[in-house]
Structure 1
Amino acid sequence: MSFTAWLKAQYDEKGPARWLAFLLELIAAIMLMALMLITCIDVVGRYVFNNPIPGAIELTQISMAILVFAVMPVVTWRGGHIVVDLLDNYLSSLLLKALSLIAALTISVSFYFLGKRIFELGARSIRRGEVTEFLGIPSGYLVQYIAIMSWITAVGMITYGVYRILFQDKSN
């Protein structure tokens, strides 16, 4: 089986969204593997050799931020968040679609403005030369990564998320 055939079989998204979902999930998988390795090596180093990895906590925090914000766009446009559907049996499907559309637009606008503010904070952090406490890694770039992932989430929700709400059958 070719890679493209495998990708098509594993991902429901269409066109560039499929490749973007794969790329973002690949980044998350790499970060998860890095987290596992950092944790295992740090624990063995700490308890067996009495010599932990310097800055393991910072590396864990940075890896977690990269992991969480890499999958945020994919989870959002797939509608993978927790949803309370207490009234779904009592409301018409047209009203449910309208409410879903309003929610998607609200999420998109929120992520856009959130990303805008976070990007400004990242730029300020870069200008001031702020770095992590122990390893001295510039923190502004990670903050701007979070902002960019928020914008990708907003765009993904407004495009593919709205497409799924309007044109895909709920029984799939």
Structure 2
Amino acid sequence: MSFVAWLKAHYDEKGPIRWLAFLLELIAAVMLMVLMLITCVDVVGRYVFNKPLPGSIELTEIGMAILIFAAMPVVTWRGGHIVVDLLDRYLSTFVVKCLSLLSAIVISGSFYYLGNRIYQLGERSIRRGEVTEFLGISSGYIVQYIAIMSWATALGMITYGVYRIFFQDKSN
């Protein structure tokens, strides 16, 4: 089986969104593996050799940010968030779709606003030359990555999320 055939078989998204979802999931998977290796090396170094991995806490914090914000747009596109649908069976389909649309607009607007604010904070961190405490990694670029992924989540919610609300069959 070719890679393209495998990708089509395992990803429901269409067109370039399929490739973007695969790339973001690949980033998240690689980062999860890196976090596991950092933790293993740190624990073995700490308890066997009495010498922990320097900066492992900072690397873990940065890795968690990369992992979480790489997965967030994909989870949003797929509608994988927790949804409370206590009233859905009592409301008409039209009302449920209107409420879903309202929530998609509020969520995407919130992520867009947060992305703008976070990006400004990242620019300020870069301008001031702020770095992490032990390893000296520029924190502004990580903050800007978080902002860009927040914008991608907002875009995914307002485009594909709205598509799912109106055009995708609920039986899937």
Q: Same fold (TM over 0.5)?
A: yes
Paired AA for residue 19 in structure 1: W
Query: CA-to-partner distance for each residue in 1:35-80, whole Å, 9 max, x for gaps?
Result: 0000001100110011111000000000000000000001112111
Counterparts of residues 33-48 of structure 1 (less than 5 Å): 33-48=33-48
Paired AA for residue 94 in structure 1: F
The alpha carbon displacement at 1:93 in A equals: 1.0
Counterparts of residues 28-107 of structure 1 (less than 5 Å): 28-107=28-107
Structure-2 separation of matches of 1:10 and 1:120? 37
What percent of counterpart residues are identical? 80
Cα RMSD (Å) of the superposition?
0.6
The answer to whether 1:134 aligns with 2:134 is yes
Unaligned 5+ residue runs, structure 2? none
Paired AA for residue 45 in structure 1: G
Which position in structure 2 is the counterpart of 1:24?
24
Which position in structure 1 is the counterpart of 2:9?
9
Unaligned 5+ residue runs, structure 1? none
Which position in structure 2 is the counterpart of 1:160?
160
Structure-2 separation of matches of 1:94 and 1:144? 39
Counterparts of residues 113-128 of structure 1 (less than 5 Å): 113-128=113-128
Structure-2 separation of matches of 1:83 and 1:161? 14
TM-score using structure 1 length: 0.99
Paired AA for residue 154 in structure 1: A
The alpha carbon displacement at 1:102 in A equals: 0.9
Structure-1 separation of matches of 2:100 and 2:2? 37
Paired AA for residue 80 in structure 2: G
Query: CA-to-partner distance for each residue in 1:97-131, whole Å, 9 max, x for gaps?
Result: 11111111111111111000000000000000000
Paired AA for residue 36 in structure 2: M
Q: Secondary structure at the match of 1:124?
A: helix
Structure-2 separation of matches of 1:148 and 1:82? 23
Structure-1 separation of matches of 2:77 and 2:96? 17
Paired AA for residue 52 in structure 1: P
The worse-fitting range, judged by mean Cα deviation, of 115-124 and 80-89 is 80-89
Aligned length: 172
Structure-2 separation of matches of 1:119 and 1:146? 8
Structure-2 separation of matches of 1:103 and 1:14? 24
Counterparts of residues 142-153 of structure 1 (less than 5 Å): 142-153=142-153
Structure 1 runs of 4+ aligned residues shifted over 6 Å read none
Q: Secondary structure at the match of 2:53?
A: coil
